[in-house]
């Protein structure tokens, strides 16, 4: 089967609570960052969070969220991820199918629960994540993955994929066997990944395969320092560095451009980077330049930050396509 995009990423169920900054600080989680925790630690935090509000539960994971956007726009997407052999894994697989994403790994792990990301959103729309990776970090390489990837136009993955040795090794094996004609898109995901798994990040960079790099300003500086503009040119043929409500920096075809954000009232930044990447890749599949594709990603991210979810409804994705207008 031919694919537009094949993703390799963590399969996580997002469980979101809207809380105060004081509550986040009381958990011991680093504010506005990703941090791995145990299932038991999650349960302790959740029991406290549930005293004041109900959970919003959405099937997520950074790569999955990006693929959901691209697939709902019309791209043909497949996903290589690891689920547990449990009820939540079945829910997740149904969610992939409902969003038009084809699951490319049929193995279900019996010794680990399906991964869960606890997301705490504060009133200023900042997100703090305490993640139990569970089965999602137990991906084993399967030769059939190569057939799927080499029948795609783009392979896409996330920095979070590097936080477990099993996933890292599986992903490197996939990438090393991917035909050069297949473009590689990569999202840095979080400064935590760069600071704690720099050797693995550098291994990916040493392969010199990155065609499209997605990151925010903090991630860029964590990777290469303050002078990121020139340094990132040595890493990726095309890159975009987002900066919240400030202009994004886009590099492509040897040129820099600034991309101004849309002025909206943000209530939840969770998923903004994911939809930016997925929307951009969809437009690349349609034949647009990287900069023009990023304009569409920029617009899509301005829509999702106005929602209390890292995903949109099918209707909303359709509206993004129809309402987007380039200046």
Predicted confidence band of residue 245 (pLDDT cuts 50, 70, 90): confident
Q: What is the mean pLDDT of residues 59-67?
A: 93
Among the residue ranges 119-128, 185-194, 239-248, the one predicted with the least confidence is: 119-128
Query: Residue 301: its pLDDT value, please?
Result: 96
Q: What is the mean pLDDT of the chain?
A: 94
Tell me the pLDDT band of 270, cut-offs 50, 70 and 90: confident
Domain count, the chain: 1
Q: Taking 80 as the threshold, does the pLDDT of residue 268 lie above it?
A: no
**Each residue's pLDDT tens digit, 101-157:** 999 998 999 999 999 999 999 998 888 999 998 999 999 999 999 999 999 999 999
CATH of the domain at 99: 3.40.1190.20
Average pLDDT of the segment spanning 58-64: 91
Please, which pLDDT band fits residue 265 given cuts at 50, 70 and 90? Answer: confident
* pLDDT at position 96: 95
The model's confidence at residue 263, banded by pLDDT at 50, 70 and 90, is: confident
**Residue 162: what pLDDT?**
95
Q: What pLDDT sits at residue 327?
A: 67
pLDDT at 60: 87
Q: Which domain holds residue 157?
A: 3-323
User: What pLDDT sits at residue 124?
Assistant: 86
Residue 40 has pLDDT above 70, yes or no: yes
What percent of the chain clears pLDDT 90, i.e. is strictly above it? 82
CA distance 240 to 107: 35
Q: Is the pLDDT of residue 165 over 80?
A: yes
Percentage with pLDDT > 70 across the chain: 100
């Amino acid at each position: 089967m031919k694919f537009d995009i094949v993703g390799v990423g963590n399969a996580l169920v997002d469980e979101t609570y809207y809380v105060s900054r004081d509550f986040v600080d009381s958990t011991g989680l680093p504010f506005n960052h990703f941090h791995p925790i145990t299932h038991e630690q999650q349960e302790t935090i959740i029991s406290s969070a549930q005293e004041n509000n109900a959970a919003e539960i959405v099937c997520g994971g950074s790569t999955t969220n990006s693929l959901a956007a691209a697939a709902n726009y019309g791209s043909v997407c497949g996903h290589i991820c690891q689920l547990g052999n449990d009820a939540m894994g079945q829910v997740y697989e149904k969610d992939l199918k409902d969003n038009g994403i084809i699951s490319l790994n049929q193995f279900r792990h019996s010794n680990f629960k399906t991964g869960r990301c606890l997301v705490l959103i504060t009133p200023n729309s900042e997100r703090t994540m305490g993640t139990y990776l569970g089965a999602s970090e137990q991906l084993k390489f399967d030769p059939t993955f190569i057939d799927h990837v080499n029948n795609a136009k783009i392979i896409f993955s996330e920095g979070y994929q590097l936080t477990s040795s099993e996933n890292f090794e599986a992903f490197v094996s996939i990438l090393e066997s991917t035909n050069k004609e297949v473009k590689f898109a990569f999202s840095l995901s979080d400064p935590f990944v760069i600071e704690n798994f720099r050797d693995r990040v550098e291994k990916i960079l040493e392969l010199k395969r990155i065609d499209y790099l997605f990151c925010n300003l903090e991630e860029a500086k964590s990777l290469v320092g303050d002078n990121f503009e020139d340094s990132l040119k040595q890493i990726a043929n095309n890159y975009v560095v987002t900066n919240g409500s400030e202009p994004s920096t886009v590099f492509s075809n040897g040129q820099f451009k600034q991309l101004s954000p849309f002025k909206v009232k943000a209530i939840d930044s969770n998923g903004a980077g994911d939809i930016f990447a997925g929307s951009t890749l969809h437009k690349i599949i349609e034949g647009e330049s990287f900069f023009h594709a990023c304009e569409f990603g920029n617009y899509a991210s301005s829509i999702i930050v106005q929602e209390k979810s890292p995903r949109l409804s099918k209707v909303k994705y359709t509206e993004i396509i129809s309402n987007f207008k380039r200046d």
